[in-house]
């Protein structure tokens, strides 16, 4: 069966520090991968989307970047965190090749910027 892992579960970082959040998927090949941010009481905002290794689409301009160095690994990064980067970050995957597929989410990283 397929599983998705995200870490860390919680993170407290000072303003101006770098960030690296990692997400890995097991049990499937060539998945579509997604990074979302969720503000309190709000829906999910799609940040980045990837259909393959090295292929990243940025959905909103921001202080963050994403990379996909391996088929089932998706990394969210920042060189210098801002206070506005605080939030709940979720990674998700869906099966490649067709639109009519559910997304499967990790349990997220709660990021607090001080």
* Residue 99 binds to other proteins (criterion: CB under 8 A): yes
Give yes or no for residue 76 binding other proteins (CB under 8 A). no
Sequence-distant (≥ 6) Cβ neighbours of residue 4 within 8 angstroms: 23, 24, 25, 26, 91, 92, 93, 104, 105, 106
Binds other proteins (CB under 8 A): choice among 7, 11, 65, 110: 110
* Residue 32 contacts other proteins per CB under 8 A: yes
Q: Any idea how long the chain is?
A: 114
Give the number of other CB atoms < 10 A from CB of residue 85: 19
**Structure tokens belonging to residue 43:** 């829906």
Is 56 among the residues that bind other proteins (CB under 8 A)?
no
The piece of 13-21, 67-75, 77-85, 91-99 that touches other proteins (CB under 8 A) is 91-99
Which is closer to other proteins, CB of 46 or CB of 53?
46
By the rule CB under 8 A, 28 interacts with other proteins: no
Q: Residue 100, interface with other proteins (CB under 8 A)?
A: yes
Residue corresponding to tokens 């970082």:
13
């Amino acid at each position: 069966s397929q599983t998705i892992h995200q870490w860390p579960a919680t993170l407290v970082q000072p303003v101006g520090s770098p960030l690296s959040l990692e997400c890995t998927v097991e049990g499937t090949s060539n998945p579509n991968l997604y990074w979302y941010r969720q503000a309190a009481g709000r829906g999910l905002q799609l940040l980045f989307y990837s259909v393959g290794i090295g292929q990243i689409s940025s959905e909103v301009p921001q202080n963050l970047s994403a990379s996909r160095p391996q088929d089932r690994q998706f990394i969210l990064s920042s060189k210098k965190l801002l206070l506005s980067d605080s939030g709940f970050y979720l990674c998700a995957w869906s099966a490649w090749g067709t639109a009519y597929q559910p997304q499967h989410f990790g349990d997220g990283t709660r990021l607090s910027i001080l």
